[in-house]
Amino acid sequence: MLNERMVALGTQRSVIRELFEFGKMRAAEIGPENVFDFSIGNPSVPAPAEVNQTAMKLIQEMDPVLLHGYTSAQGDAGVRKMIADSINSRFGTSTRPEDLYVTVGAAAALCCCLNGLCNPGDEVIVFAPYFPEYKVFIEGAGATMTLIPADIEAFQIDFEKFEASINANTKAVIVNSPNNPCGAVYSEDTVKKLSSILEEKSAQFGHPIYLISDEPYREIVFDNTVVPYLPKYYKNTMVCYSWSKSLSLPGERLGYIVVPEEMEDHDLVYAAVAGAGRSLGYVNAPGLFQRVCAMCADLTADISVYETNRDILLKGLRDLGFHVVEPGGTFYMFPRTLDPDDVAFCEKAKEFNLLIVPGVGFGCPGHARISYCVQTEMIERSLDAFEKLAKCYR
Ligand code: PLP
């Protein structure tokens, strides 16, 4: 008998993947220029030239046995030193190489943190709208997900509902700012309030409630928005970072976890993360790209196009009567759907070859996600299709 949960996970395609496949089929039928595929969050700009140059230099100049050999399970020591230096120079922290665990992307980072922390019966709080894989990762760690409904006016946190949901079983809270799918960035006020509630509730229940900060979009922000670095506000924060979006390297699978020195029982928590990495087989992230990412850690791809795309789309949609909370970052927008049934709305959108993702899968019905990591001219051409869609509801 197979593991039924795994069979189900491996069989069901996500709504996003379904749409992506539908888009490819439509493109073959009517031409790719007539399909407006806003389904998937794949960066649309290339990695900076330094990434390839660094990779080539390493291949040409480094001892190949060392370059392609195993590194430490938690990542090469020199790599962790370079990452720590980069974090410290940007955030004024004192991260040490022994606080870092290098992973295959943020997905593995999240799984290592959750598996390291959770026991059966534990609860992990998530705020809607949320990245749907969180549920899979949390349940994979033997815990259950508690979803806090969205604050749909500003996409910050509904603190009343949050406080009411914390109990003795609450082990951790996951936050994702800048947020997939809505683009919101938590303000410093939000972060301070979140931290003070976590301090208070940890004291009340007599154990730390960990904050897991999922930050693959940390650098993709607009209008000089500042993303607060959460360990500076709450010491029991684990940072999960990824170079998938900032360096446009999703296929290379590189990221890291920070377990800050200030964390209560730091060495035990770090050991739990490393133990989870070991038990999941997430040891020794790819060696060449560990080095490339660490050497390029202070760079980003040319992400300015995402702000251009946001501006065009935001204005276009608002002119058509859509209610949209302005995204402070990422390459996603999350307008309210003109039909309260977001699934029906997104089906209707397909009639105009507009591929957008229903909000219900992100825990926030009545909305749809638009991934605008696409060519700017495609966004300009798509406005006509959005207008035809909007007309159906007038
Ligand atoms: N967390 C969020 C919010 C994401 O949007 C993604 C990817 O889209 C991930 C985590 C996983 O990122 P990675 O490619 O680094 O595994």
Q: Residue 223: left (phi > 0), alpha (psi -120 to 50), or beta?
A: left
d(C-alpha 305, C-alpha 298), whole Å: 19
216 in contact with ligand 1, CB cutoff 6 A = yes
Contacts of 341-350 spanning 24+ positions with Cβ under 8 A: 341/365, 342/366, 342/367, 342/368, 348/389, 348/392, 349/389, 350/22
212 in contact with ligand 1, CB cutoff 6 A = no
Q: What pLDDT digit, counting tens, does each position of 257-273 carry?
A: 999 999 999 999 999 99
Ligand 1 centroid to 106 CA: how many Å? 5
Given a cut of 90, whether residue 17 has pLDDT beyond it is no
43 in contact with ligand 1, CB cutoff 6 A = no
Ligand 1 atom at minimum distance from 131 CA: 3
The string over 323-334, giving b where at least 16 C-beta atoms fall within 10 Å of a residue's C-beta and e elsewhere, is ebbebbbbbbbb
Full-model pTM:
0.97
> Which position has the higher pLDDT, 295 or 17?
295
214 in contact with ligand 1, CB cutoff 6 A = yes
358 in contact with ligand 1, CB cutoff 6 A = no
Ligand 1 centroid to 129 CA: how many Å? 14
Ligand 1 atom at minimum distance from 176 CA: 3
Given a cut of 90, whether residue 315 has pLDDT beyond it is yes
Nearest to 236 by CA among 216, 272, 267, 264: 264
Place 83 in a pLDDT band, splitting at 50, 70 and 90: very high
Q: Mean pLDDT over residues 196-202, rounded?
A: 98
Place 14 in a pLDDT band, splitting at 50, 70 and 90: confident
131 in contact with ligand 1, CB cutoff 6 A = yes
Given a cut of 90, whether residue 394 has pLDDT beyond it is no
Given a cut of 90, whether residue 380 has pLDDT beyond it is yes
pLDDT of amino acid 234: 98
Q: Mean pLDDT over residues 113-127, rounded?
A: 98
Q: Mean pLDDT over residues 201-215, rounded?
A: 98
242 in contact with ligand 1, CB cutoff 6 A = yes
Place 20 in a pLDDT band, splitting at 50, 70 and 90: confident
- Amino acid (one-letter) located at 111: C
365 in contact with ligand 1, CB cutoff 6 A = no
Given a cut of 90, whether residue 199 has pLDDT beyond it is yes
107 in contact with ligand 1, CB cutoff 6 A = yes
329 in contact with ligand 1, CB cutoff 6 A = no
- Other Cβ atoms within 10 Å of 353 Cβ, number: 18
Given a cut of 90, whether residue 277 has pLDDT beyond it is yes
Ligand 1 centroid to 107 CA: how many Å? 6
Q: What pLDDT digit, counting tens, does each position of 48-80 carry?
A: 999 999 999 999 999 999 999 999 999 999 999
- Amino acid (one-letter) located at 247: L
Pocket test for ligand 1, best of 14, 20, 214 (most atoms within 8 A of CB): 214
- Amino acid (one-letter) located at 232: K
pLDDT of amino acid 12: 87
Q: What pLDDT digit, counting tens, does each position of 281-300 carry?
A: 999 999 999 999 999 999 99
Place 15 in a pLDDT band, splitting at 50, 70 and 90: confident
Percent of all residues in the chain with a pLDDT value above 90, rounded to a whole number? 97
175 in contact with ligand 1, CB cutoff 6 A = no
